[in-house]
Amino acid sequence: MTKTILRALAGETLPTPPIWMMRQAGRYLPEYRATRGEAGDFLSLCYNPDLAAEVTLQPIRRYGFDAAILFADILLLPQALGADLWFVTGEGPRLSTITTQAELDALKPKSDIHETLNPIYETVKILSAELPKETTLIGFAGAPWTVATYMIAGRGTPDQGPAHALKAENRAVFEGLIDIITDATIDYLSHQITAGAEVVKIFDSWAGSLQAQDFVDFALRPTAKIVLALKARHPDIPVIAFPRGAGDKYVGTHAATGADCIALDDGVTAEWAAANVQSQGCVQGNLASSHMVTGGQELIDETRRIVDAFRNGPHIFNLGHGITPDANPDNVALMIETVRNSG
Ligand code: CP3
């Protein structure tokens, strides 16, 4: 029997939605913190195929999610392209910056990225062998705009100001960077698929800061280019796109990107999204991740409301964004139980 997530992605309406959770392998789990300690630090964990596979499997063993997401990070691709990357504890990622043509020219050609990324493909191979037969393996990459915001600023920024500034002040370098990331991402995801990923997801975490034509040019178009190229090479592999923060601009994103499923953040209501987005194809989402911290009856009520709103079309249950380190693992179990008893 086909795996539930693949059935939803093919457009089937299921009696209860399949479920997985963004950042399901992460610091809220004591077993993750233990394995991360064994690896030394976050990047060493990403590049250690045995330990990265182990942390990917931990939430599957604990909760029986319907999908596992490869444990890696969207910033490994910039590193593979030659950027310096490190993580400052308690603060987040730091990268060497790209703001000039000379820095753009110094990036490695896309044919060289696999040297760095080979351990990631190894992780996928291990997972593909070890996952339970009913569990779908999801690979992923960052969308070009989101990855570019980190490469330009050298860190996460609240408003993506440096990327917007480069877009205004040196369009050629900005567009050149978007093109380089787009082409490298196609090859990166294609290698993940060849290694065993059954679905890929494109995370555009900062899509919401792109307005009007910029949203079309730098969120929708690069994702559409990636989807088109992947569909040509791997016609049977579904793609999930996550233009986080798109708001009203979520309408039409299935057609504009070619993605099989659109992931929704919790900035839109499930009722609105059912009428305006799910009407065009499968959706994923969108419980606010704060419920994983607060739990209780509100978690149950909100979970039921979302399941009900999306009941008449293809839906994969998920959070609106990643689970946070202060979440209570018991609340995750409560969410899953609520979803599975909602039929
Ligand atoms: O979802 C999963 O379980 C798979 C693994 C995964 C991670 N990052 C692991 C991670 C995925 C899919 C990502 C994607 C990612 N990484 C995104 C897009 C999704 C989103 O959250 O919007 C972004 C923007 C990044 C970049 C990134 N990685 C930041 C900004 C940070 C620091 C913030 C933080 O949460 O600490 C990371 C670190 C990171 N990536 C952690 C994990 C589990 C925490 C690292 C740790 O163990 O300390």
The overall average pLDDT reported for the chain is 97
pLDDT of amino acid 43: 97
Going by C-alpha positions, the residue among 181, 3, 191, 170 that lies closest to residue 99 is 170
Here the contacts of 118-121 (C-beta below 8 Å, separation 24 or greater) are 119/46, 119/47, 119/48, 119/49, 119/52, 120/46, 120/47, 120/49, 120/52, 120/70, 120/72, 120/76, 120/192, 121/191, 121/192, 121/194, 121/195
Q: How far is the CA of 324 from the centre of ligand 1 (A)?
A: 10
d(CA 27, CA 29): 5
pLDDT of residue 190: 98
pLDDT along the chain (343 residues), means of 10: 94 98 98 97 97 98 98 98 95 97 97 97 98 97 98 97 98 98 98 98 98 98 98 98 98 98 98 98 98 98 98 98 98 98 88
What pLDDT, on the 0 to 100 scale, is given for residue 230? 98
Query: What pTM, to 2 d.p., does this model score?
Result: 0.97
Q: Residue of the nearest CA to atom 11 in ligand 1? A: 73
Concerning whether 155 is annotated as a catalytic residue, the answer is no
Q: What is the CA radius of gyration of the chain?
A: 19
Centre of ligand 1 from the C-alpha of residue 159, in Å: 18
Catalytic, 94? Answer no
Q: Which of 36, 63, 204, 260 is catalytic?
A: 36
Share of the chain above pLDDT 70, in %: 100
Question: Vertex 244, ends 144 and 118: CA angle to 5°?
Answer: 40
Model confidence pLDDT, tens digit, residues 35-85: 999 999 999 999 999 999 999 999 999 999 999 999 999 999 999 999 999
Specify the pLDDT at position 1.
66
Pocket of ligand 1 (CB under 6 A): 22-27, 36, 42, 69, 71, 73-75, 92-93, 140, 142, 156, 203, 205, 322
Known catalytic membership, residue 73: yes
> What pLDDT sits at residue 343?
78
Distance CA 227, CA 240 (A): 9
Whole-number pLDDT of residue 89 = 87
How far apart CA 55 and CA 46 sit, in angstroms, is 10
| 136-142 and 67-69 strand pairing | parallel
